[in-house]
Structure 1
Amino acid sequence: MKVVAVGGGTGLSTLLRGLKNYPFDITAVVTITDEGGSSGILREELNVPPPGDIRNNLVALANSESILSTLFNYRFQDGSLKGHSVGNIILAALTKITGSFAEAIAKASDILAIKGRVLPVSLQMARLLAVFEDGTHVVGETNIVEYSKKTKNRIVELKLHEPVRINPEVQKVLEESDAVIFGPGSLYTSVVANLVIEGFQECIKKSHAVKIYISNIMTQPGETFGYTLKNHVKEIERYAGVSVDYIIHSFPPSNEEVLKKYIEKGAEPVKVDIHDNRVITGHYSSIIFEGEYRIRHDSILISEILFNLLNSVKNQKAERKPSDLEVKL
């Protein structure tokens, strides 16, 4: 099956680490609006698209035991390169050498011998613009998150500061896909940031692929204060312009100490308030250490659920074909 996964940073790369172990034709469609950290600096100083999310997902689809994967993810801890990862610098350099961000990604994909493809949602530079419930307009991903954290205002509309067109390769894979997966990841800055690209919604509306949304486990300060599952799904469907066929939601691990730290920062488990046959719930998460203990989707468990779901969908379609032919006859 041709599977397209749409998202941004950590959430999407976690999913891809599991999916690459299954017999899927995988394409990751990645946002290009990141403005924080190393990506933001390289974007500003070198006038190249932000490489960080692309790098994360290239490495996720590579052989996890490869020294090149370790190299791409290595981040300098001091000196003038502090905060920069080697992969970000390589992607920026390849963009300058080839004159094309798409070509840079293709060459990095060859270097890492990835399983599948990673495509930027657009080949143009883009910035997000958020309209908040107090009427304030804020430009830039980092500024949007910081303003929401500070004021606890909700985003009522997300769009681009200036329109940019969908990558023609992304348009092609969306039209030919058997399944499109939205998330997991930050609702607005990782997932919806792709859907607001000019032409994306039109492609999704034309696609006959099964649409799946993998919900966030926890609400996110700066984006989804107090959001329930229904709030998340409503926003995905609003910006995608279609209803999702399946919703996968994971409950957080039962670790009171870690949950307490999340709650102290303004996050809480996403409340399940949709109860129809689209919803698949279970414990598909784990706790990992990234400077501190964090709740993440478990790449093995979430990809297994997806594999079983997509196999079931495939079998259902196969079973319907004979009856469809009989009707025509």
Structure 2
Amino acid sequence: MSGEAFLSLTSASTMNTNTKRKGIVVFSGGSAANNLVDVFSTVREDKRCPLSYVIPISDNGGSSSELIRVFGGPGIGDVRSRLVRLIPDDPDHDDSEKAAIKVFFNHRLPKDRSKAREEWLQIVEADHALWANISTAKKELIRSFLNMINSEILKRMRPSSTFDFTGASIGNLFLTGARLFSGSFESAIYLLSSICSVPSHTSVLPAINTNFTHHITVGLANGEHITGQNSISHPSVATPLENPAPSQTEETEFHDGIEDANLPGTLPTLRKQYITFSKADEEDLPARIERLWYINPYGQEIRLAANPRVTACLGEAQAVIYSIGSLYTSIVPSLILKGIGQAISNPSIRYKILILNSTTDRETGPSTSPFSAVDFIAAIAKACNESRGVSGSATPSLGPSDFRSYVTHLIHLQGPGTPNVDKSEMEKLGIETIKVYGRKMEGESFVRYDEKALIQALKVLIGERDPRMERSRRNTLEG
């Protein structure tokens, strides 16, 4: 089918879409997908429908790792990041308070430990420039939860364990304070959403609504297991793949001597501080990732149910979008949850769109055998099948119907380092492909999605086509 014929057919079928299903659900992680927030917001505005972001809570790196070590609870960094990114910009009004709140909740303390502690006290005592342009009412509301978390930190101080403020995110500290005060992660998200003026038509939903910590493990093709999101995605300087570690017993005994939120006997790799790590220059995994699952603190596999609000949104959605980001630590942890695969496979969701990454990373390598588009889709299908209790550990067990149950359309770029897209293979699977033109930023070796081109592609798929688009389509999009 030609690009023109496909686009015309898609546009015509869009007019017959079941009006009862209007929502758009986006599965994503944090930083990468934040770059596409304006794209999704524009499509939502065009459709005048609800937009929901589903965010995993398994991150155990950065400042989240220290909050988890001392207080337990879910990894909140990606949720906080998305809420702050959704603070609306109004070009027609100079809203200095919204800009100040965005800076405030995105602020990180210095990397020097003593300077970080000193700056934290300045913020708690309202003696810091970050408070400028934030109204008294909001300032005192925010301070109340920062003072609360500060008090909890002091109460948990022990000779063997003190809180490390190095590089801590003020937004993460606030969200943790709100969760501890209310006893509800959902309530803490609601409070931060309100302060950030996130529009009511857009929601940020944790994949699991929980007050507990949930970790992930991956199995590699060579039989190895890697535990904890940070170790999977971007390990610290000392990596278990290269350096021999102390015996399990020695490490466990060492960590059992530290008073923190972890239960005695918990896996040592789940109890370490991962405040410092690098997302650049990551070494390849020794083999491809084949499967991901959740574990309890002792390393045993567990099956968890999805946040009921997520499955409810999927029940009202006309479109599901798998956004760019880390495949196995940003997307798959949400898909393997009970209830997700069944909800996505519903034929009433007409559009199940994968926005393919513009490059491969540590999770979709190794560099000698990078993932193709089919590999990305297979990983999604396996995860959704596992959500339904169907083993998806081997690709041959998945047929074309399995793939199309979870992915109906693929949007991709073409350029240096982009994953290979075999159109004939996609046609055999019944998956439509749309290539959009990207742009290359100065100093970067990869191609980025162009916002206008991506908006146009998504509108063609799930929105009403603007007649003016037909004349300019070839400039940005190729069917």
The TM-score normalised by the length of structure 1 is 0.82
Counterparts of residues 173-188 of structure 1 (less than 5 Å): 173-188=313-328
Question: 107, 119, 137: which one pairs with 1:74?
Answer: 107
- CA pair 75-295 structure 1, distance change in 2 beyond 3 A: farther
Partner in structure 2 of residue 323 of structure 1 = none
CA deviation after TM superposition for structure 1 residue 193, in Å: 1.3
Q: Distance in 2 between matches of 1:227 and 1:8?
A: 19
Q: Does 1:251 align with 2:385?
A: no
Counterpart CA distance in 1 for 2:294 and 2:181 is 28
Deviates more, 1:206-215 or 1:280-289: 280-289
Greater displacement, 197-206 / 213-222: 197-206
> Going by fraction, where is strand more abundant, 1 or 2?
1
Q: Supply the distance in 2 between the matched residues of 1:85 and 1:184 (Cα, whole angstroms).
A: 24
In structure 2, distance between residues paired with 1:77 and 1:57 = 22
Are 2:326 and 2:363, in contact at CA under 8 Å, matched by a contact in 1? no
1:21-75, CA deviations, whole angstroms, 9 ceiling, x for partnerless residues? 3414211010111111112221222112111110121122221462212222122
1:93-242 equivalences under 5 Å are 93-115=177-199, 116-124=202-210, 125-145=213-233, 146=235, 147=241, 149=283, 151-161=285-295, 162-206=302-346, 208-209=348-349, 210-225=351-366, 226-241=370-385, 242=405
Is residue 308 from structure 1 mapped to residue 460 from structure 2 by the alignment?
yes
Match for residue 142 of structure 2?
none
- The amino acid across from 1:74 in the alignment is H
**Does the 8 Å contact 1:184/1:214 carry over to 2?**
yes
Find the counterpart in structure 2 of residue 56 from structure 1. Answer: 81
2: CA distance between counterparts of 1:298 and 1:39?
A: 31
Deviation track 1:104-133 (CA, whole Å, cap 9, x = no partner) reads 111111111113000001013321111111
Contact 2:32–2:325 under 8 Å retained in 1: yes
Aligned residue pair count: 297
Q: CA deviation at 1:207?
A: 5.8
| Aligned AA (2:384) | A
Unaligned runs of 5+ in 2: 1-21, 91-97, 118-164, 236-240, 242-281, 296-301, 386-404, 466-479
After TM superposition, what 4+ stretches of structure 1 lie above 6 angstroms from structure 2?
Answer: none
CA distance in 1, matches of 2:448, 2:34: 11
Pair 1:303–1:97, CA change in 2 (3 A):
farther
Where 1:62 maps in the other structure, the secondary structure is coil
Separation of aligned partners in 2, 1:288 and 1:98: 46
List per-residue Cα deviations over 1:190-213 (Å, max 9, x = no partner): 111111122211222236212111
- Structure with higher Rg: it is 2
Structure 1 counterpart of 2:287, one-letter code: N
Q: Find out whether 1:42 has 2:72 as its counterpart.
A: no
Q: Could you say which residue in structure 2 is the equivalent of 1:91?
A: 175
Cα RMSD of the aligned pairs, angstroms, is 2.4
Q: Is the 8 A contact 1:38 1:85 kept in 2?
A: yes
Q: CA deviation at 1:16?
A: 1.9
Contact 2:87 2:102 in 1 (8 A): yes
Secondary structure at 1:178 match in 2: strand
Question: In 2 relative to 1, CA 83–296 (structure 1 residues): closer, same or farther, beyond 3 Å?
Answer: farther
Post-superposition shift, 1:279? 0.6
Cα deviation for residue 98 of structure 1 reads: 1.0
Q: Distance in 2 between matches of 1:288 and 1:308?
A: 30
CA contact (8 A) 1:249 1:279 kept: yes
Offset of residue 312 of structure 1: 5.0
- Distance in 2 between residues matched to 1:299 and 1:85, nearest whole Å: 28
CA contact (8 A) 1:6 1:183 kept: yes
Secondary structure class of the residue paired with 1:309: helix
What residue number does 2:42 align with?
Answer: 21
Distance 1:177 1:151, change over 3 A: closer
Per the alignment, in what secondary structure is the counterpart of residue 281 of structure 1? strand
From the superposition, tell whether residues 136 and 243 of structure 1 become closer, same or farther in structure 2 (CA, over 3 Å).
same
Cα shift at 1:294: 7.1
Aligned-residue offset at 1:285:
4.7
Q: Return closer, same or farther for 1:285/1:243 CA change in 2, 3 Å cut-off.
A: farther
Q: Percent identity?
A: 27
Bigger CA drift: 186-195 or 294-303? Answer: 294-303
Q: What is the rounded CA distance, in whole Å, between the counterparts of 2:414 and 2:60 in structure 1? A: 30
Q: Secondary structure of 1:20's match?
A: helix
Give distance in 2, aligned partners of 1:295 and 1:113.
33
Alignment CA distance shift 1:159-1:107 (3 Å):
same
8 Å contact 1:230–1:274 — kept in the other structure? Answer: no
